[in-house]
Chains A and B, each alone.
Chain A
Amino acid sequence: MTLRMPKLTVWRVIFAAIMLAGLYATYLRVFYGLGGSTNLSDKFPWGLWIGFDVMCGVALAAGGFTLVAIVHIFNIRTYHPVLRPAILTAFLGYQLVVVGLLFDLGRPDRLWHPLVMWNPHSVMFEVAWCVTLYSIVLFLEFLPMVFERFGFHRPLAWIHKISVPLMILGVLLSTLHQSSLGTLFLIVPEKEYPLWYTPLLPLLFYVSAIAVGLAMTIFESWHSSRAFGRALELPLLASLGRVLAVVMSVYLWIRFLDMAHRGVFGLLKIPRIETWLFFLEIGLMVVPTILLYRAKVRMRPGALYSCAVMVVFSFIANRLNVGITGLEAGSGVHYIPKWSEAAVTLAIVAAGFAIFRVFAHYFPVFEAHSHESSHETADSKEEDPVAVG
């Protein structure tokens, strides 16, 4: 028997390094507590693990509910080929969010407490319930991929029977907790920098989750087409790009109106870190939005991909600004994550990529008939207009 060494590639080396660092950071977290593994303090109790792992994690997993709504509720079947990867991302995403939470909670062994000890006045309580229930929904939405792989037809039929109420439930739960992550910060009016503090935070978080969900779908398809040598569903993705441009425009317009009504444009003249971060965030949103309105950009895979990446980064910037940097001045603390916080976060992200890849390799994520439909539409030069129904 010959033992085959896995091929040594740059990416594998980087991956191994990240995982080792993450492992050591985990050791610190377990044996030296939050004090030994983070730069958190009494005046700055939430850091990277909440700001990125939880807040960005949930947003990045929003493709699941967005595409379920588009494909199954609005019944726009054209997008079916990208539905499964979106559900898989969402499913993995939420698992990783929980992993992040286990690192962050002072008492991870009590993760289940909100399920039995209630406080309906708490946004966190609501988020805990929604995330738990939605994880179950995602699991059920994801199961068919497993059943198909192993040819379990009977359970497949059962799931199909409950699929419509299940999907509606999933969209509702997502609506609630995606927006609630914004509501979390309504309680800190005196700490959150006014460029970000607005009573509209829940609405903004919700609309942006839809945008991130769409962008992530484009992002995944591009990556998996390269990884698996699969034909890119370009016309399809290009039309998703169109939807993305519209959602982004709506978001930016709400953001503009909100700032106008609150009269905070004057703040933009103050040269301080918050101003620069704000411009960075908004810039990353505006540029791809404008670009996506051009057919040329949408039909070029590289350009479309870059736009999606910019959108994703713009909202990562947004979540970090709301959850971390926007709170620093108001909390009177300057927070820089410790290396171990970053190491854990990186390891979680890397693990996410790896698990997705393994899964997509062994299970029917990118389905066979995805090729059919991409062929069908491939000959029409510009994408189908998004005809509803």
Chain B
Amino acid sequence: MSKAILYDSTLCIGCKSCEGACAERWGLPYNDKIAAEENISAHKLTTVETHGDRFSRRLCMNCQQPACVSVCPVGALQKTSLGPVTYDQEKCMGCRYCMQACPFQVPSYEWEARLPRMRKCNMCYERQVEGKVTACSEACPVGATKTGNRDELIAEAQQRINDNPSQYNPKIYGIKEVGGTSVLFLSAVPFAQIGLRTNVPLEPLPDTTWRVLELLPDVVSTGAVLLGGIWWVSNRRSEVEKAEGKRK
């Protein structure tokens, strides 16, 4: 059963409890100065953004078909069947293709470190394995961030919209975006107004490169026959020329 997070921007009061809980869970420092940063970075894996009088969260979307997982040359990133996208720092060679490929620009890098790692939220994978909810969901005092099974959360989100149509923008962000994400958003206003990306493709991004990569065996085998054939024909010609005593 694939887990997900439902974030309801209409409920969020911007208390940033989720940020603190996240920092604690990763063993990262957290103080007023860091709380004031509205960007995610290698030392702040989730952030509460202020958009006028509304709030929104930024964290790894743990996509259903993640671009980062498909591009990582060493398989350091994995999409678990549980939902979280995990990262193995022992494999990572620091090519940063995951950062380039991410449509949400989530992965961050320890730019200053001598032995840098990529950092991103992994939906509290090790907590979820134990059946616990994510640290941010647990910390949220108003239930704006909630962990659960993805399809149940989608149904619940739809229910909230149906119950209160005047309060909600009638869409759920994360169902179709890049083929679906494990973090779902509800909002009172169109998503672009709370800083969500509305320009992302609806198709899963790994398809864009796989369409080409899957041709590889065809290209290699056809190419080998073609080149070998050309060599055979052209070489034969010069053999004949030689035999006829013509100087090339």
Tell me the A residues contacting B by CB distance below 8 Å. 32-36, 40-43, 45-46, 69, 72-77, 104-108, 110-111, 113-114, 117-128, 164, 168, 171-172, 175-176, 179-180, 183-184, 186-191, 199, 202, 327, 331, 388-389
B100–A46 contact, CB under 8 A? yes
Contact between B212 and A34, CB atoms less than 8 A apart: no
What residue of chain B has the Cβ atom nearest to residue A42's Cβ? B108
5 pairs from A and B in contact (CB 8 Å cutoff): A40-B109, A45-B109, A183-B213, A190-B199, A331-B105
Q: Cβ of A32: which chain B residues have Cβ within 8 Å of it?
A: 112
Residues of B within 8 A of A (CB): 39-42, 67, 69-76, 91-97, 99-101, 103, 105, 107-118, 197, 199-201, 205-206, 208-213, 216, 219-220, 223-224, 227-228, 230-231, 233-235, 237-238, 248
Q: Is the CB of A106 within 8 A of B201?
A: no
A321 to B116, alpha carbons, bound, how many Å?
28
Of A120, A171, A187, which one neighbours B205 at CB under 8 angstroms?
Answer: A187
Which chain A residues border B238 with CB–CB below 8 Å?
A: 75, 77
CB pair B115–A123 under 8 Å, yes or no, is no
CA distance A120 to B216 in the complex (A): 11
Q: How far is the CA of A114 from the CA of B74 in the complex (A)?
A: 5
Contact of A107 with B72 at beta-carbon distance under 8 Å, contacts A34-B111, A171-B227 already known: no
Decide yes or no: A126 and B224 within 8 Å by CB, A45-B99, A110-B93, A187-B205 being known contacts.
no
Contacts of B112 in A (CB 8 A): 32-33, 35-36
Measured CB to CB, the closest approach of chain A to B56, in angstroms, equals: 17
Q: Would B101 and A187 count as touching, CB distance under 8 A?
A: yes
Contact between A105 and B95, CB atoms less than 8 A apart: yes
> Chain A residues near B114 (CB, 8 Å)?
33
Selected contact of B216 from candidates A34, A126, A327, CB within 8 Å: A126
A106 touches B96 (CB 8 A): yes
Residue of B nearest to A189 (CB): B201
List of 3 A-B pairs having minimum Cβ-Cβ separation, nearest first: A106-B94, A35-B111, A75-B234
CA A247 – CA B73 in complex, angstroms? 32
Q: Of B72, B116, B209, B224, which is within 8 A of A183 by CB?
A: B209
Residues A190 and B201 in contact, CB atoms below 8 Å apart: yes
Task: Return chain B residues, CB-CB under 8 Å to A183.
Answer: 209, 212-213
Complex CA–CA separation, A388 to B230 (angstroms):
11
Chain B residues with CB below 8 A from A46, complex form: 96, 100
Q: Give Cα A22 to B136, complex, Å.
A: 46
CB pair B210–A121 under 8 Å, yes or no, is yes
Q: Is the CB of A73 within 8 A of B93?
A: no
B77 → A minimal CB distance (Å): 9
| Contacting pair B209 A187 (CB below 8 A) | yes
**Of A45, A69, A117, most B-chain CB atoms within 10 Å:** A45
Contacts of A119 in B (CB 8 A): 70, 72-75
Which A residue's beta carbon lies closest to that of B89?
A: A107
Contact of A77 among B39, B116, B248 (CB under 8 A): B248
Q: Which residue of B lies closest to A78 (CB)?
A: B248
Residue in chain A with minimal CB distance to B227? A168
B216 touches A42 (CB 8 A): no
A107–B92 CA distance with the chains assembled, in angstroms = 8
Q: How far is the CB of A126 from chain B (nearest CB, A)?
A: 7
A168–B209 CB distance below 8 A: no
CB of B208 within 8 A of CB of A186, answer yes
The answer to whether residues A107 and B111 also contact, given A75-B231, A122-B71 and a CB cut-off of 8 A, is: no
